[in-house]
Amino acid sequence: MNTGVRMVTRSRSRAPRIAAEGCGEELTPREATAGRKSHRPVKRPRKTHKLHVAYEVSNGEKGEDAEPLKVPGWEPQNWQQQLANIRIMRSQKDAPVDQLGAEHCYDASAPPKVRRYQILLSLMLSSQTKDQVTAGAMQRLRARGLTVESILQTDDDMLGRLIYPVGFWRNKVKFIKQTTAILQQHYEGDIPASVAELVALPGVGPKMAHLAMAVAWGTISGIAVDTHVHRITNRLRWTKKVTKTPEETRTALEEWLPRGLWSEINGLLVGFGQQICLPVHPQCQACLNQALCPAAQDL
């Protein structure tokens, strides 16, 4: 008795196809079971193909061309809520810096070059000086015509009387005269348009340079950190470790603070430091951040 083997053939075109997840390709049952053991003789080895998978990223570009994801770095705890609270406390804009800061001390009707020079001088005078005193000195200087030419024609004794009682006024007389002469000789009476050139001027530090870039040139080059910003950011623990100088604080802040906030921080925190977060006896009871401020917990 002959035992016949019944062969069942199917049309290839009618074979169901199995989708391979995540690959966008389809496999026939024959291909899907290629890895299983088969009792049928293998006529020839199958040719393998490498599968290239392109991962889609959020901006719609292929993973091969996309920039690698940035790993979030350190940032202070609760800083966004602390910032929001400070904005609320500063919403009235009634601190001395809001009316007497560098952006309010120049003659708005003067030519652009003269305005920029006056902004730089107000910043030089403001170092270690209250805004009210700086504003008074600027008024006296402007009353005599505050230009590069007029300052160079003013003798040191008269210049000292005009700017007194700003802090370190004798040194500032010397720095103002030296800087003004450099501006006339090398910048055609204008001020430099870069931080590097500004800090090279006598009596001009990093804080003044960044503020000059922002107010005079409309360019945000960095965070302007004075004693108020230095003190408050350390109290709030906005630096990864305690910083000893304003310049250390600036570097620490710029490592994590979003660049879009750099222009706001100086005026916001200076006014906050003038009214609530005072150098001595800060008014923590009136501060919305009392429960969030590490320094307040230590007082």
pLDDT score, position 43: 57
pLDDT at 269 over 60: yes
pLDDT at 24 over 90: no
Mean pLDDT value across the chain: 85
What percent of the chain has a predicted confidence (pLDDT) above 70? 76
- Per the annotation, the verdict on 241 as an active-site residue is no
pLDDT at 19 over 90: no
Catalytic position from the list 70, 207, 240, 241: 207
Q: How confident is the model at residue 217 (pLDDT cuts 50, 70, 90)?
A: very high
pTM for the model stands at 0.75
**Cα separation of 128 and 209, whole Å?**
16
CB 276, CB 287: distance < 8 Å: yes
pLDDT at 286 over 50: yes
Q: How confident is the model at residue 27 (pLDDT cuts 50, 70, 90)?
A: very low
pLDDT score, position 297: 85
- Sorted by sequence, the CB contacts under 8 Å of residue 100 that are 6+ apart come out as 131, 132, 134, 135
